[in-house]
Amino acid sequence: MVISKDRAKSKFPQWAAIDPSRGSISEYIKKCRKKVIVPAENKNCGQGKTAVIIGAGVAGLTSAYELLNNEDINLSRCVILEANDRIGGRSFTVRPGNVIKEDKYGFQKCKFESEPGEPYPPYLNAGPGRIPSSHKLLLGYMKKFGVPMEVYVMASDSNLTYVQNHFGNQSVPYRQPAYNMQGWVAQELYQLLNPDNFSDMSPGDIEKFKQFLQVFGNLNEEGMYEGSDRAGYNVLPGVQPGEITIPQSLQELLRSQFWDKTRFYQPIDFLWQPTLFQPVGGMDKIVYAFKEQLEPDARSELQLNAVVEQIEYNNGKYSISYKQEERTYTIEADYCVSNVPMPLLEGVLQQNHFSPSFQAALDAVYTAQKVGVEEQGGYRRRFLADTTKVGWQAERRLWQEAEGAGDVPIYGGISWSSDEIAQIWYPSEEYHAELGVLTGAYNFSAVAQKWGDLEPEKRLELAREGARNLGGNDFADGLKHGLAIAWQNIPHQKGGWAQWSTVENKETHFNTLVKGDQNFYIVGDQLSHLTGWQEGAVASALNAVCQLCDPMYSVPDIDVLPDTRLTVEGAFWATLPAYVR
């Protein structure tokens, strides 16, 4: 037997799009500007000009900041029109007294309890919750604006894994399947390592490979796995030596399929690798920092509750009409930057002044939202993703005080479940407080669609049952002040993020839209390789402003767009059975 050392990537053509060794992508990375540069001949291009930005999401605010803070552009006026009564769009942090408004099910008011001496109110990040270290543009703005940040704990080996009907139908600490499986894999490979099986390896390399496997799997001298303290203890050591857990057998682990019934390995996919961060006090601290930067500038204007209903183009200018408190206003603009989720532009944006390819690209996106793509099991995936979250407040002792002799408390991280809740996030901050806010469910696709069709109360019941399976009765019964959000039900958003896999000829249309047309620019993570991430929103805003002030700048075309599930759910979805997807 010869085991190939050149693992083919052809099974996952999507990877090509994020593999920097590919020609066009590396060109893209090299050429796509991370900074606004105004060429000498275009200095003061914004003088006497008005830009209207529709939507105060991360991308809209970044666009406004860049347009106003680049002296070489010298823009005269920048108006941000935001449909909501708050800025931030999907960067939505819910605190006591805030409401979640779904178009189907009315209002839910956040009733989280405050504690004496707390440094900031308790909060749920209903949208984004974490920032990877690789998101350098966003982290750069946080540094520039002085937004305090702290570590977001993506994974603790004490987090739980629940796979229905396996491991005695009990959840087990993450470290058990992780390191027992590692031990068994190492043992099985070690036993196969001989010159007959690996004829293309030298004896010296075989020896090194064996040494590696001993360390990797914690094997004994004979290359056998006998269990390891990596998988934890039944009784923790103290004065006494402690008692290491008996490892789950390889068969038990294999039969559980823990790796595809849960999102167990998501923390090792690139986007979720440590270190990740969160702003102290809630994710929306970032958008409010942008707002603070804009406020003192007399050229900037932010209108809340301003729903744009019509965008027309006449004689080189845009007329943008919006409704605010039952009255309709119109603003003239030289530049129009739209942060609106693209499908919601249908019927709002006049199109006949655009090139045929730009019109066709918009139409393709509208169709992808209306018609979608039918998947196995009858689920219809649309351009804007179905996704739901649940939040709870509870006493931290329910996870931070572990009673069993071998139990280790949970400080942050994510427990994984085969139930519809999919995951439970523990707070990554204020460990000594009495209360903490948990994300009690975060699910996708068909499950999220089903949850979104249920009333929030019903979703909370399901989430509590998921919590019961994962954490037991005390844990489930201790959860209070539940909140549920289905992003597909949120007005002016209608989904979690863009899914380009639903668009026919997606690369062609992406390449067209990303370049803008007639001083109309679409921004947001929707037009980036990082759909579902604020970094994509920032990158797209920089791209739009670069084009606006430099007619010679053009983003190179890309030839493969990744499937959004890679950037939002990690690589594992490719192997998921249909019922979990």
Helix (H), strand (E), coil (C) string for 48-107: CCEEEEECCCHHHHHHHHHHHHCCCCCCCEEEEECCCCCCCCCCCEECCCCEEEECCCEE
Write down the least CB distance from residue 498 to ligand FAD, Å. Answer: 9
142 in contact with ligand FAD (CB under 6 A): no
Write down the least CB distance from residue 134 to ligand FAD, Å. Answer: 11
**Among 38-46, 185-193, 253-261, 519-527, the segment contacting ligand FAD (CB under 6 A):** 519-527
Which residues have C-beta within 8 Å of that of residue 205, sequence separation ≥ 6? none
Query: Which of 110, 163, 289, 344 lies at the binding interface for ligand FAD (CB under 6 A)?
Result: 344
* Beta carbon nearer to ligand FAD, 183 or 452: 452
Cα–Cα dist 109/97, whole Å: 6
- β-pairing, 276-279 vs 435-444, is unpaired
Angle at 404 between CA 402 and CA 408, to 5 degrees: 45
Query: Which of 139, 289, 308, 422 lies at the binding interface for ligand FAD (CB under 6 A)?
Result: 308
110 in contact with ligand FAD (CB under 6 A): no
Residue 106 vs residues 80, 456, 459: alpha-carbon distances, Å: 27, 10, 15
Write down the least CB distance from residue 301 to ligand FAD, Å. Answer: 14
Question: Across the strands, what pairs with 80?
Answer: 53, 302
Query: Which of 307, 373, 574, 576 lies at the binding interface for ligand FAD (CB under 6 A)?
Result: 307
Query: Which of 77, 90, 291, 381 lies at the binding interface for ligand FAD (CB under 6 A)?
Result: 90
Cα–Cα dist 42/51, whole Å: 16
* Beta carbon nearer to ligand FAD, 482 or 536: 536
Radius of gyration for the alpha carbons in the chain, expressed in angstroms and rounded: 26
Is the Cβ–Cβ distance between 348 and 310 less than 8 Å?
Answer: yes
Query: Which of 98, 105, 108, 129 lies at the binding interface for ligand FAD (CB under 6 A)?
Result: 129
**How many residues of this chain interact with ligand FAD, rule: CB under 6 A?**
40
384 in contact with ligand FAD (CB under 6 A): no
Cα–Cα dist 226/72, whole Å: 67
3-state DSSP: the chain helix, strand, coil percent, rounded to 5?
35, 20, 45
Query: Which of 25, 32, 58, 231 lies at the binding interface for ligand FAD (CB under 6 A)?
Result: 58
**Among 2-10, 336-344, 467-475, 506-514, the segment contacting ligand FAD (CB under 6 A):** 336-344
Is the Cβ–Cβ distance between 257 and 163 less than 8 Å?
Answer: yes
Write down the least CB distance from residue 526 to ligand FAD, Å. Answer: 6
80 in contact with ligand FAD (CB under 6 A): no
Is the Cβ–Cβ distance between 75 and 49 less than 8 Å?
Answer: yes
* Beta carbon nearer to ligand FAD, 186 or 333: 333
Query: Which of 524, 544, 563, 581 lies at the binding interface for ligand FAD (CB under 6 A)?
Result: 524
* Beta carbon nearer to ligand FAD, 203 or 274: 274
* Beta carbon nearer to ligand FAD, 247 or 495: 495
Query: Which of 25, 32, 51, 55 lies at the binding interface for ligand FAD (CB under 6 A)?
Result: 55
Report residue 366 as tokens. 């509208």
Is the Cβ–Cβ distance between 391 and 94 less than 8 Å?
Answer: yes
* Beta carbon nearer to ligand FAD, 398 or 484: 484
387 in contact with ligand FAD (CB under 6 A): yes
DSSP secondary structure of 126-150:
SS---EETT-HHHHHHHHHHT--EE
339 in contact with ligand FAD (CB under 6 A): yes
Cα–Cα dist 412/404, whole Å: 19
525 in contact with ligand FAD (CB under 6 A): yes
* Beta carbon nearer to ligand FAD, 415 or 531: 531
Torsion of CA 65, 522, 278, 450, to 10 degrees: 150
Report residue 332 as tokens. 């003239």
Q: What mask of x and - would describe binding to ligand FAD in positions 479 to 498, judged by CB under 6 A?
A: --------x----xx--xx-
91 in contact with ligand FAD (CB under 6 A): yes
57 in contact with ligand FAD (CB under 6 A): yes
Query: Which residue is listed with tokens 């986007």?
Result: 271
Write down the least CB distance from residue 89 to ligand FAD, Å. Answer: 2
Cα–Cα dist 24/31, whole Å: 10
* Beta carbon nearer to ligand FAD, 340 or 548: 340
How large is the greatest C-alpha to C-alpha distance in the chain, in angstroms? 84
**Among 77-85, 161-169, 407-415, 472-480, the segment contacting ligand FAD (CB under 6 A):** 77-85
Write down the least CB distance from residue 208 to ligand FAD, Å. Answer: 40
Query: Which of 38, 54, 186, 460 lies at the binding interface for ligand FAD (CB under 6 A)?
Result: 54
532 in contact with ligand FAD (CB under 6 A): yes
Render the burial of 321-352: b for 16+ CB within 10 Å, e for the rest.
bbeeeeeeeebebbbbbbbbbbbbbeebbebe
Q: Is 332 helix (H, G, I), strand (E, B) or coil?
A: strand
337 in contact with ligand FAD (CB under 6 A): no
Residues forming the site for ligand FAD (CB under 6 A):
54-60, 81-84, 89-91, 127-131, 307-308, 339-341, 344, 387, 389, 487, 492-493, 496-497, 524-526, 532-534, 536-537
